[in-house]
Structure 1
């Protein structure tokens, strides 16, 4: 089993999104805003080789953004694009066997599809795309709050071409990779656990947008559709992370993309940076 961090781009957002009601005086101790008040968020996918399967987990905003959308997101590519970084590991789109979507917000699944000859098509033509069934149902029927991030161009054609596999709860994908439902950010958000190394790895996705969200469970984002559920879910996985000394991967964190949960000298939860070989992708 091997796994790699795959940068897909970096965006600039209003801190009211990831930090919600948390006062600036508190969150700015962990993330320094730019001169214009915005903060940066990475979008890190994973590449996993397990049981002979080539697996990608999440895929960023993709390459279909209009000029206006690119400006609105403030997206740029300090470490390259999704496909460029997959190619560095010898993986072409046709080589991907499984595309795991943690959820269907556009900054996580925009790379599900691409445009070829003016038509939206699946980026990974031979892949089985995997998502929770309830997440897909919510994405296909967005409400006033979610319709700006559940964009059907990112997943409808995958469904119509029969490439989706829908899960009904926690599911083992290979002997070393399993999906676990981590509700709160969306009703059926899922995270991914990789086993086989000395320490299990939890790719939290938007269970914890930044490392500090895992340490301080009451800090929830403005994007979380069920914030109280998100708090309860993080509390559950805090215990698991401590018990198993797990490696935590934070998809959006520019400061601590890979870390471990600890109790500091004051007895409070904190996440410390782990110097892991996968961080070579960010150099």
Structure 2
């Protein structure tokens, strides 16, 4: 498992499963001759996308950034349509480094689409129960409201079994929330109405988790947004602001979906100065 230290924070990428989605959908209006130079695809025009939660250890607390695609949540048809050839093994990843699911104090949910939220619950003794029994769950109020009352477009990605078992442990926030000293969740919208990013700063060290407004390294261009985005223009403006902010401070950008890089650090000109590759 790959790890990265940023100031007081230690990040470890866990095995949350993998999907293969249409490259055209993942790059929106960007022509294939452009995006295919940046990110590989298979003969079905699909690109590999991890769904790997990040374990964040900070000041004696253990947090997850998103929850993976879970295990046993999908039908055979869904597994095929989403190109899932590996489901989550987050519990095994935690055991490998000496932790249990009960050790997780909080889960920072950037949004609640199925590929981020299925890992929040598991099937046990004939019912869905919280997968992380002691964890509080943080997400934006907008996202939490839409999760429970999805519209005609979003109902296919907000699943009841992903929220009902954990609703008593959810702590929604409005514009931003400081989880711990220097660690913030910030509502951006864009990919979904309630989408949030995560920022951690410790003196001059910084990481920004852009979640699905920059799901892979190939989405660095502020204009390259997803066809899945509910509010693509918002995604563009938020990317523009947060890339400028991070470039000026040589921030690390971390990824949940990228199959090739776990994190990249850019200089003030947006050039890569350091990288953490995924061990393939």
Same fold flag (TM > 0.5):
yes
2:275 aligned with 1:282 = no
Report the 3-state secondary structure (helix = DSSP H, G, I; strand = E; otherwise coil) of the residue aligned with 2:240.
helix
**Cα deviation 1:136-173 (Å, max 9, x = unaligned):** 111111112111111121112211xx111111111110
Cα RMSD between the aligned structures? 2.0
Normalising by structure 1, we get a TM-score of 0.89
* Residue 107 of structure 2: aligned partner: 99
2:222 aligned with 1:225 = no
Of the three residues 191, 198, 203, the one matched with 1:192 is 198
Report the 3-state secondary structure (helix = DSSP H, G, I; strand = E; otherwise coil) of the residue aligned with 1:8.
coil
* CA distance, structure 1, for counterparts of residue 85 and residue 183 of structure 2: 30
**Cα deviation 1:112-134 (Å, max 9, x = unaligned):** 10000120111011111111111
**Contact (CA 8 Å) 2:266, 2:273: kept in 1 or not?**
no
Deviation at 1:67, TM superposition (A): 2.8
**Contact (CA 8 Å) 2:197, 2:208: kept in 1 or not?**
yes
| Mean Cα deviation higher: 51-60 or 193-202 | 193-202
Of the three residues 134, 144, 162, the one matched with 1:136 is 144
Q: Are the structure 2 counterparts of residues 68 and 216 from structure 1 closer, same or farther at C-alpha, using a change threshold of 3 Å?
A: same
* CA distance, structure 1, for counterparts of residue 78 and residue 256 of structure 2: 21
* CA distance, structure 2, for counterparts of residue 40 and residue 203 of structure 1: 19
Deviation at 1:197, TM superposition (A): 7.4
* CA distance, structure 2, for counterparts of residue 37 and residue 66 of structure 1: 23
* CA distance, structure 2, for counterparts of residue 148 and residue 38 of structure 1: 20
Deviation at 1:182, TM superposition (A): 2.1
**Contact (CA 8 Å) 2:250, 2:268: kept in 1 or not?**
no
* CA distance, structure 1, for counterparts of residue 35 and residue 147 of structure 2: 30
* CA distance, structure 1, for counterparts of residue 131 and residue 33 of structure 2: 42
Deviation at 1:263, TM superposition (A): 6.4
**Cα deviation 1:190-213 (Å, max 9, x = unaligned):** 111223375211111112122232
**Contact (CA 8 Å) 1:122, 1:158: kept in 2 or not?**
yes
Q: Are the structure 2 counterparts of residues 89 and 197 from structure 1 closer, same or farther at C-alpha, using a change threshold of 3 Å?
A: farther
Of the three residues 208, 211, 223, the one matched with 2:214 is 208
* Residue 151 of structure 1: aligned partner: 159
**Cα deviation 1:57-112 (Å, max 9, x = unaligned):** 1011111223332222222349x722221222222111111111110000011101
| Mean Cα deviation higher: 198-207 or 238-247 | 198-207
* Residue 3 of structure 2: aligned partner: none
**Cα deviation 1:221-269 (Å, max 9, x = unaligned):** 01110000110000000111111100001221123331123466xxxx4
Report the 3-state secondary structure (helix = DSSP H, G, I; strand = E; otherwise coil) of the residue aligned with 1:258.
strand
Residues 196-275 of structure 1 mapped to structure 2, 5 A cutoff: 196=202, 199-213=205-219, 215-262=220-267, 269=270, 272=272, 274-275=274-275
* Residue 16 of structure 2: aligned partner: 8
**Contact (CA 8 Å) 2:139, 2:173: kept in 1 or not?**
yes
2:91 aligned with 1:74 = no
* Residue 120 of structure 2: aligned partner: 112
**Contact (CA 8 Å) 1:182, 1:189: kept in 2 or not?**
yes
State the number of aligned residues. 271
**Contact (CA 8 Å) 1:8, 1:43: kept in 2 or not?**
yes
2:44 aligned with 1:36 = yes
* Residue 92 of structure 2: aligned partner: 84
Report the 3-state secondary structure (helix = DSSP H, G, I; strand = E; otherwise coil) of the residue aligned with 2:118.
helix
